[in-house]
Amino acid sequence: MNPFARIKQYILFFGDIIILYAALAITLWFRYGDLAYNQFFGYHLQPFTFIFIIWVIIFYIAGLYDLKSLKNDLEFQKSFWYSMGFNIVLAALFFYLIPYFSITPKTNLILLFIVFVIVSYIWRRIFNLFAGETSASTKILMVGSNQTVEEIIKHLEKNPQLGYQIKFWMKEGLKDHEFEHLSQIVVANEINTIVVPAHLKKDNQSAKLIYQTLVLGVEVIDLATLYELIYKKVPLAELEEVWFLENLVKKHKIYGAIKEPVERMLFLILSIALLPLFIFIGILVKLTSKGPAIFKQKRVGKSEEEFTIYKFRTMRQDAEKNGPQWANYFNDERATPIGKILRRTHLDELPQLFNIVKGDLSFIGPRPERPEFVNELKNKVPYYELRLLNKPGITGWAQINFRYGASVEETYEKLQYDIYYIKNNSPFLDAQIILKTLKFLITNNS
């Protein structure tokens, strides 16, 4: 991400913080006046600070700090008003169901919410206009032309708030008659980034011309890097084997060594705590359809090792009488009435907590596929076997960014997200996935 784009997010975040506390101050001044203001502000500061932290987290989960959301379109309107409605409900539940603080500020909460909603809505609409109309900090000279390049250019034209602008496009690549005048074009168009296909770096003539631009302070990146920065996935069509050798090396060994035992311990505790819910759902499944309550199925894990995954059964017992087939997760005719509810709420996946305790699964990672499909996908999807480098997970980067994969084509798209996760795996990325998973569960995105 370019630095100016990150600055936009920081400005938006700190702007929200300022507005939240300003709304609290205005509310208390309006209610109690000058004499009692200081006393009541002290009473309200601690509990409302806790509420504000939750609200900001909800904004993040709703995507209100994502650069792609900084537009005054329908998607922004939906995210803003849904998150606001969710926030007021959470605040009310906090004050009236958790008797930790000595105040139950019904009137103050409503007044604060009204003030904050009005000011925040105006602030965000103005900021969105500013984000889209300010000049881009990354001015690009694009070299070459293919489907990926055209996709990027169209996307950047529609999303100026991302901070990128294509200033010059050499469609013919090395054959472009302007390529020999590369330095002059860079200066004339105030370009600070040159994007080239990976193979151009291997050409001696083009490498020399590109090298001369480095003294002008220009950054040179390949097409795959720009694509990854913009879409948060890798472009498989632009990659060669050498890219994987350079990028999919073992990283974050310390984090991985800590993550696995901590996950097992936490999910063992969670499994015990949720045991009554397990029993209730199991009885419900058993009473409403023929067959076992727990469904067992072979899946392929890390290093192509097979394991048994556990779920609450959501389909008829004869669902695969004609052999293995792709599941339509949210609209499958083979699902039972209770099974449809369990799928919508994702409660059918609760038994997978035992897979985490056993070490078959991680909480975060690529979703494990069935052996029958893995063999097919390895033949039809390039680089598919690379997703088996990591331990599979219950949720993951692909799951929160793309719908449920139920075909070879959709698996190809999900694989681009999976490889992005394997390349960039870190505690910060895992934290993002956990928060975004909450949105996925609440909205039931498919």
| Spans of all domains in the chain | 3-133, 138-231, 253-443
- Average pLDDT of the chain to the nearest whole number: 84
pLDDT tens, residue by residue, 68-95: 888 888 888 988 999 999 999 988 888 8
Q: Which two tokens stand for residue 341?
A: 């509810």
CA 6, CA 227: separation in Å to the nearest integer?
A: 17
Mention every residue, 6+ apart, whose C-beta is less than 8 A from residue 49: none
84-87 CB contacts, 8 Å cutoff, 24+ apart: 84/113, 84/117, 86/58, 86/442, 87/54, 87/55, 87/58, 87/113
The dihedral built from the CA positions of residue 284, 288, 290 and 295, taken in this order, carries a sign that is negative
* Segments in 189-252 forming alpha helices (H): 204-212, 223-231, 241-247
For residue 308, the Cα-to-chain-centroid distance in whole angstroms is: 28
pLDDT at 3 over 70: no
Beta bridge partners of 140: 166, 193
**Higher pLDDT among residues 105 and 127, named by residue:** 127
For the residues 53-75, what does the mean pLDDT come to?
88
CA 361, CA 271: separation in Å to the nearest integer?
A: 14
pLDDT at 300: 93
pLDDT at 117: 95
CA 169, CA 143: separation in Å to the nearest integer?
A: 6
pLDDT at 47 over 60: yes
For residue 228, the Cα-to-chain-centroid distance in whole angstroms is: 13
| CATH superfamily ID and name for 138-231 | AF0625-like (3.40.50.10700)
Cα distances (Å, whole numbers) of residue 341 to 314, 315, 334, 345, 394? 9, 11, 13, 6, 19
pLDDT at 282: 92
Q: What is the pTM of this model?
A: 0.82
CA 82, CA 74: separation in Å to the nearest integer?
A: 12
CA 203, CA 222: separation in Å to the nearest integer?
A: 14
pLDDT tens, residue by residue, 218-260: 888 889 999 999 999 999 988 888 888 878 766 556 777 788 8
